[in-house]
Amino acid sequence: MNTAELLYQSIQSLASPTELAWIVDKIKTDSKGLSLAFVMTPRQVSKTRVGNIPSWNWQNSTLDQLVRVYLLIQLAEKEDGKSRIETLFDTAEMNELVALYRALPVLPTPEIWLHRATDAVRSNMGPVFDAIAFGNPYPFQYFSELAWNQLVLKCIFNDKPIHLIEGLDERANQALANTLADFAHERWAAGRRVPSQVWRLIRNFQTDTKEQDLKRLAESADPNDQKAAELVLQNSPLEAWKVLEKEETAY
């Protein structure tokens, strides 16, 4: 079952007969009609919460969001679909942007939207940034190392929960580890603690101050720092780090 079929199955189970009739009618229209339907969706479809959808990356999604993504998949298949979606990006309000960015991994030839995805990393709108950063496989699959590191660092600098980033451990790299070691020293110099999840991105890399940093963590009065040092020294797998997720900022 492809993504469009999976989404439609979920939509079918949640939508009222009136909502479903509207959706079915709109997917029969041309690209202009699909673009308009994308904008009109919240007026026609409820914000019913949906549960977990197999193979889908959204948590706490709403029905109108799923419908918007489904319409985008249909639109992308049209001859002028790409230009229509570009226009939607250019004219979208915040909730529309969230749906657009969430849809990127399931659109045909998703790599053509890389410029839009990196735009989201620079966004000052929290929900838009979160839409590309959390629970979204697109950065993991398509970002360059530089773009990936910018996303992770922005999360850390803004005290966002990096454990919600897809592929966090797989994309860890030496350049990021070096930057995070410097970041840790700046935090400590300012009298602030370093989020525990930062150290899991350093564990597999050697930095100039790694031994001293781990010693400082191990001797800290904060049990979370002590646990982070232990997990790094044991090169503990991702599952073990979940004990420290509760201290991260709630998402």
Q: What is the largest CA-CA distance in the chain?
A: 65
**CA dist list (Å): 62 to 99, 121, 185, 218:** 11, 23, 41, 43
- Average pLDDT score over residue span 6-20: 92
Global confidence as pTM: 0.90
Q: What is the pLDDT of residue 242?
A: 82
End-to-end CA distance of the chain: 31
Q: Specify the DSSP class assigned to residue 74.
A: H
Q: What is the pLDDT of residue 251?
A: 39
Going by pLDDT thresholds of 50, 70 and 90, the confidence category of residue 245 is confident
Partnered with residue 49 across adjacent β-strands are 62
Going by pLDDT thresholds of 50, 70 and 90, the confidence category of residue 200 is very high
* Nearest alpha carbon to residue 209 among 197, 195, 199, 224: 199
Q: Is 57's pLDDT higher than 70?
A: no
Tell me phi and psi for residue 82, to 5 degrees.
Answer: -60, -45
pLDDT tens across 93-141, in order?
999 999 999 999 999 899 999 999 999 999 999 999 999 999 899 999 9
**DSSP secondary structure, 83-117, as one string:** HHHHHHHHH--HHHHHHHHHHGGGSSSGGGGHHHH
Q: What is the pLDDT of residue 250?
A: 40
Q: Is 58's pLDDT higher than 70?
A: no
- Average pLDDT score over residue span 215-227: 95
Q: Which of 5-9, 48-52, 118-122 has the highest mean pLDDT?
A: 118-122
